[in-house]
Amino acid sequence: MTPTPEPALPRAFSHLAGANLAAQAAEQISLAAVPIVAVLTFNAGAREVGVLAAAQSLPFLLLALPFGLWADRASRRRLMVAAEAMRVLAMTLLAALVMVASGAALSMAALAMLGFIGAVGTVAFSVAAPAMVPALVPREALARANGRIELARSLAFAAGPALAGTVVAAAGGGSAFALAALLSALAVLLLRRLPVDGAAGGVKGGGRMSVPPLSTPGTPSLATPTTTAPPSRPSPLADLREGARFVWHDRLLRPVLLTAVVWNLAWMVLQAAYVPHAMQHLGLGARGVGLTLSLFGAGMVLGALAAPRIMARLPFGAAIALGPLVSVAAALVMAASLVWPVAALAGLSFFLFGAGPIVWTVSSTTLRQTLTPAPMLGRVGSIFLTANAGARPLGAALGAGVAALAGAQGVAACLVLAAAGFVVQAAVVMASAVRTLRSLPAQAAPRAVG
């Protein structure tokens, strides 16, 4: 018997997915082009490139929470349009500065400032897009829709840097920034085709939820908060406290958040050690290091393609736990390369790190969208984003500190510590109520608001 094909996702979601692909590609191209241009134009070293990377990372830490408030108080579509328009302007200006007098008008400060502005669009998408998805697709299609969103991110992550390098080599850095500007402009056009805020299935936040102060252990997650009409709009700080309290007191969302934070800590410890390990112990050159790292992107693409099918065939809790468990396997494979210095082990490790966590991202995002009432989706998403963004520099600092203390054994110490961290993140989710879920839990509250 021929299986019935799944119905197509709504046209409005296709516009969002297309805008997401264009915006993610613009981000990856600009992320790769900025340091390349810095090295070619200013002969920048590791210190200068690190400053540029920090400038492009700061928006996640500084703007995720404010954007989450915006997404819940006003128009999510307008937030993304405004942020992408800023990226169009920033990338256009960068292209012009690089092209004028062969970059004579450019400076490191301009690269850092405009790189920062360009990253703002990515933060807006990371907060607002997941908050919009539940209003655009039916509940039973959430996993498939989130898979499409993550597939676009994976494709951009895998292909964007290589495309940027090719364009810079063939036509100069200005052309790479011009391409990023065109892709962001395409994202703006697609976003403007989304439903008008407040229409049926609208994409506007708003409203305030009544959240119980505590979730008693053993009882269901917050199930049916009620929308109230307060006499006056609460302060932004009160809104943020409400979102944080909702996440922390929910027996399903809290372990998901903790798992993600520990994963990011462990990942950055591993990242701090990998390149020295690859070049000093595995005997890889720059090309070999790049090849092993590229397998991470290949794993992401495969994982994003497989995620909806995996979630359809496994109990929901098992699908969520799969990502953390695969991460443990990946970390152990990397640690094994300390004993057997074979480059293939490092490549396999990065492939697993790409494939498994993408299934986690799709399934945990679907869970978050289901449990979180529509008026809080922006804030809750921004809390997750900020926590993860904050964990990364802490993990990098931890890796650097361990390497310094361990001396000659610093690389090995970091890889072993990272493996222990991945075991902890898997233990968190395996010990929680998340693992026991057979299917998506009951919807928290009506999703369409305004």
Q: What is the pLDDT of residue 291?
A: 81
* pLDDT of residue 241 exceeding 60: yes
Q: What is the pLDDT of residue 200?
A: 36
| Mean of per-residue pLDDT scores for the chain | 84
Length of the chain: 450
Least confident of 83-92, 354-363, 393-402, 414-423: 393-402
The residue ranking higher by pLDDT, 417 or 441, is 417
**Placement of tokens 């669009």 in the chain:** 121
CA distance 37 to 88: 18
φ/ψ (deg, to 5) at 13: -65, -35
Q: What is the pLDDT of residue 103?
A: 63
The residue ranking higher by pLDDT, 288 or 309, is 309
Domains of the chain plus CATH, in order, are 11-191 (1.20.1250.20), 236-436 (1.20.1250.20)
Give 243-287 pLDDT, tens digit per residue: 889 999 999 999 999 999 999 999 988 887 887 888 888 888 867
Q: Is the dihedral of CA 167, 170, 175, 177 positive or negative?
A: positive
Give the CA count within 13 Å in the CB-facing half-sphere of 20.
Answer: 26
Percentage, residues of the chain above pLDDT 90? 40
Question: Tokens representing 163?
Answer: 């495309």
